[in-house]
Amino acid sequence: MGSRRGRRPVAENILLLGGTAEARGLAELLVGEGVPLVTSLAGDVVQLRLPPGQVRVGGFGGAGGLARYLRENSVTAVVDATHPFAERITAHAATACATSGVPVLRLSRPSWAERPDATTWHWVGSIAEARTVARTLGERVFLAIGRQSLPEFADWTELPVLARVVDAPAFEVPPNWEVLRARGPFTLDAELDLLRSHAIDVVLTKDSGGPTGAKLDAAAELGVPVVIQRRPALPAGVPVVAAVAEAAAWVRALGE
């Protein structure tokens, strides 16, 4: 590879919408290469794991606020590496970049729908549908859906519920719930032990993808049914990659 000495920087000012392992990996790679980069975190997780480089925490105030930020900070490109279910910020990024003329890339980890056992799961389009389907499959439910969706199950006061989250729920959970605070990824043995020790009848989760699929492997091995919410559709016209290396290559190409 030839030297970059004397060349224009690969990218002048990249905004990385983060909060995922993929975003941290991309920040580590690009900051290590000297690419000017700001990672934006929503701040939903109490114990933030900060990536390298410059970091901002908090929202932008919708698509209009994000477009204003892009202009005021001379952002030359945006990489949206938020969670697959961060539907609102992904839509705002697409709109803000379209109105501002700033290129945007979506970095989204591969879906679990490609797994061989995915055809045996109960796919649903919403949390409301997930609630209905799960109740037909069993009583002891493992909620692995993230902290923000838990309040939609707060009225399950008669079922033995196991909920796993990184940070404590923001509401008073029913006395029949057990809340397990832990950060993945988890091993297959640990997930098998969890499902067995709690006599779980149903695993309820979202198609988050990534390296946190051991619970699905455990459910398959034990014959526990899985209810899984489909990902929201991505905005039209936004290019999508599934790997950090692909996103880094896209950023490098901006300066060519």
pTM of the model: 0.86
Residues 167, 78: one domain? no
Domain membership of residue 120 (yes or no) is yes
Does the pLDDT value for residue 62 go beyond 90? yes
Domain that holds residue 56: 14-110+233-253
Each residue of 207-219: pLDDT tens digit? 999 777 899 999 9
The pLDDT tens digits of the residues spanning 4-17 come to 443 444 456 999 99
What is the count of structural domains for the chain?
2
Q: Which residues contact 191 (CB under 8 A, 6 or more apart)?
A: 214, 215, 217, 218
Mean pLDDT throughout 137-164? 93
Predicted local confidence at residue 94, as pLDDT: 97
Residue at 6 is within a domain: no
Does the residue 208 lie in any domain?
Answer: yes
Judgement on whether residues 132 and 152 belong to the same structural domain of the protein: yes
Q: Does residue 7 form part of some domain?
A: no
Query: By the 8 A CB rule, do 40 and 34 touch?
Result: no
Same domain? 125 vs 219? yes
119 belongs to a structural domain: yes
Q: Please, are residues 149 and 208 in contact by the beta-carbon 8 Å criterion? A: no
How many CB atoms within 10 Å of residue 68? 15
Rounded Cα distance, 206 and 225, in Å: 14
Contact 218, 195 (CB under 8 A): yes
CATH number at 174 reads 3.40.50
Q: Do 89 and 43 share a structural domain?
A: yes
Phi, psi values for residue 254, rounded to 5°: -65, -30
Per-residue pLDDT at 11? 52
Where residue 102 sits, what CATH number does that domain have? 3.40.50.720
119 and 217 in a common domain? yes
Residues 122-135 have pLDDT tens digits of: 999 999 999 999 99
Task: Look at residue 157 and tell me whether its pLDDT is greater than 70.
Answer: yes
CA–CA distances in Å: residue 139 to residues 14, 68, 131: 48, 49, 11
